[in-house]
Amino acid sequence: MLGGVLNLYKPVGMTSRALVERVGKILGVKVGHTGTLDPFAQGVILVCFGKATRLVPFFQELDKVYRARFRFGIATDTYDVKGSIVAVSTRPLVKEALLEALQSFQGTFVQEVPPFSACKYRGRPLYEYARRGEPIVLTREVTVYRLEVLDCREGVFGEAELRIHCSGGTYVRSLAHDLGKKLGLGAYVASLVREQVGIFRLEDSIDVVRRGIEKGFLLERSMSPDKALYFLKEVEVGKEEARLFLHGTPFAFPASLPNSSIVKVLYEGSFLGLALWDASRFLPKIVLAESCHVS
């Protein structure tokens, strides 16, 4: 069984790990999520199960859409509503200044990872260092494709609701913190909803916390690995190439692809796994199928 991918809804107050454990208990197989949502946040979280858990890194790179409420005039150590207050400002939020400042956070730029995050440094999550008073500064390049102000309440301790379309790996908490610094007010994320991951939308997500969710229902609502990897090109190979692929052996096959492309390998319509194209041959990277009537 290759497993599959589920578009799940994580409610406020639940950890991503707890959600994964619940799904694993229902399905009775290995399960892994493709991107953590903080306990105070809610929304879409993609979960892979079975052999599809080996595909998790590919889904982590998908772009995301968030709806976030930023509260200004207060900064917290975690950059969100759950943190301890570290600074306060009674300067008022002005919408015109907010709109101008937001221009600096569109496009591609380098962002600091929040010190209280699950991102790892030397095998340990950053929050462990931060709790010991030894914060680690890590940065990453991110892209914000669109920032839309949905609502703005000006004044002291003002608030703004934004819709954010960004690349995978973008921290909305860091965006709020950096925006607050730029405005000279301080800011944190008061609420956060992940509305979309790639093509997977909130309105289509499954709430597994509600009672009565059974294995058959989840399997029926899951997406096959090859369909979930909609963003990768596919190559239909012949019998000999399929045999070589299943044994993890590189093989030559005519293809017109950019060098270092990751592609889905299929034989007679059946998904075998993923291969890397190196301009002259395919190198098996992830072999999911054990056999496909290939001898």
DSSP letter at 155 equals B
SS3 192: strand
Contact 273, 253 (CB under 8 A): no
Report how far residue 148's alpha carbon sits from residue 164's, in angstroms, rounded to the nearest whole number. Answer: 7
Provide the token pair at 290.
């054990």
- In terms of phi and psi (left: phi > 0; alpha: psi -120 to 50; beta: otherwise), the region of 279 is left
The active-site residue out of 38, 77, 178, 226 is: 38
38 flagged as catalytic = yes
Burial of 226 (0-12, 13-18, 19+ CB in 10 A): buried
Report how far residue 38's alpha carbon sits from residue 116's, in angstroms, rounded to the nearest whole number. Answer: 11
Displacement of CA 189 from its chain's centroid (Å): 18
Residues carrying an active site annotation: 38
